[in-house]
Amino acid sequence: MKHAVVHAPAFSALRLDFELGEAILAQPGSMQAMTPGFDVEVRMGMQMSGRRGLLGGMRSMFGGESLFTVLYRSKREAQHLMLAPEQMGEIRMVEVAADAGLVLARGAFLAATPSLSLALQYGGIHGMLATRGLFFLRTEGAGTLFMSSYGGLVEQQLGPDERFVVDNRNIVCFSQGMTFESVMLTKSLKSSFFSGEGFTVRFNGPGRLIWQTRARPTIGWLRGLLQTVT
C-alpha cells in the first residue's frame, strides 16, 4: 500500500493506493472519496483482529475516539481511498515498532494498518489533566499509523533527564514508558484562569514527543460526549 499526503499543510488529506487484499482501519466519517473496489465493514472498537465488540468499542470511546471504526479492504487491483480528519492541520505517517510504542491523545488517530492495534490505557487524574480524558490510546504491535493534528505537528526527541513543557491541549502523542506530570505555570488557579495558561504537562526524557501548533477549541463536555458515540 502506498500513501501520499495532499493539500498540505492546512487542508491535508491522505491518499492511499491499494493492491488486491490490502486493508486499512480508519476513523468513521474520515472517508472523502474512493474507487468502487472496496469491501467496507463497520467494526466496534479499534482493533483489526482479536478482541473487539462492545468492550473494544467502549474502550475506544473512553479514549476519546468514536465508538466505531471502518475497515476498508481492496477487492480489486489498483484501488485508492481518500481520508481526511475533521480539523484543519497536518497528517503524518509514523512507523511504529513493537518495542517502541506510542501513546496517543484523544483525536490524534486517523488510520492504521492491520498489524497495529490500539488499546486503552488508564491515565488516572494525571491523564485527565494531560489530555482531557481519563484514558489514552496505546499502540500494540508494529505497523503504520496515520495521525492528524489541529495545526502543524512538531516532533522532539528528549534525551535522558531532559524536560519539556507542553500545554495539555497541544499534546498529540509520546513514547510509551515516558514519564510526565501535570503542572501549573502560575502560582494560583485565579492567575491561571485570567492568564489563559491552565494546566501544562512536563515530560521527562528519554522519549519521543509530538505536539501540535494549535489547541483544539473547547466544545463543552456534553457535545464532546455525544461526538464519541456518533
Whether 42 is covered by a domain: the verdict is yes
Instruction: Determine, yes or no, domain membership for 18.
Output: yes
Model pLDDT, residue 211: 96
Residue with the larger pLDDT of the pair 23 and 167: 23
Please write the tens of the pLDDT for every residue from 81-93: 999 998 899 999 9
Say if 182 falls within a structural domain.
Answer: no
Confidence of residue 66 (pLDDT cuts 50, 70, 90): low
Cis peptide before 85 (omega within 30 of 0): no
Mean pLDDT computed over 55-63: 46
d(Cα 3, Cα 147) in Å, to the nearest integer? Answer: 13
Within-domain flag for 127: yes
User: What whole-number distance in Å separates Cα of residue 172 and Cα of residue 194?
Assistant: 26
Query: How many domains is the chain partitioned into structurally?
Result: 1
DSSP annotation of 29 reads T
**Helix segments in the chain, DSSP class H:** 54-62, 124-131, 189-195, 221-228
Q: DSSP labels for 83-142?
A: E--SSSB-EEEEEEBTTB-EEE-TT-EEEE-TT-EEEEEE-HHHHHHHHSSSEEEEEESS
pLDDT digits (tens, 9 = 90+) for 129-181: 555 555 688 899 999 999 999 999 999 999 999 999 998 889 999 999 999 88
CA distance readout (Å), 191 to 7, 75, 164, 204 = 40, 58, 22, 26
Q: Residue 65 — pLDDT band, cuts 50, 70, 90?
A: low
User: Does residue 180 or residue 124 have the better pLDDT?
Assistant: 180
Q: Is residue 184 part of a domain?
A: no
Q: Is the pLDDT of residue 220 over 90?
A: no
| Cα–Cα distance for residue pair 69/72, rounded to 1 Å | 10
Q: Is the pTM of this model over 0.85?
A: no
The boundaries of the domain holding residue 73 are 2-151
Residue 175 lies in a domain: no
Burial of 154 (0-12, 13-18, 19+ CB in 10 A): middle
**What separation, in Å, do the N-terminal and C-terminal C-alpha atoms of the chain show?**
29
Whether residue 193 lies inside any domain: the answer is no
Does residue 134 belong to any structural domain of this protein? Answer: yes
Q: How far apart are CA 122 and CA 13, in angstroms?
A: 31
- CATH for 7: 3.60.160.10
57 vs 229: CA distance, rounded Å: 9
Band (67; pLDDT cuts 50, 70, 90) = low
Assigned C-alpha cell, 165? 513543557
Quote the longest CA-to-CA distance of the chain: 61
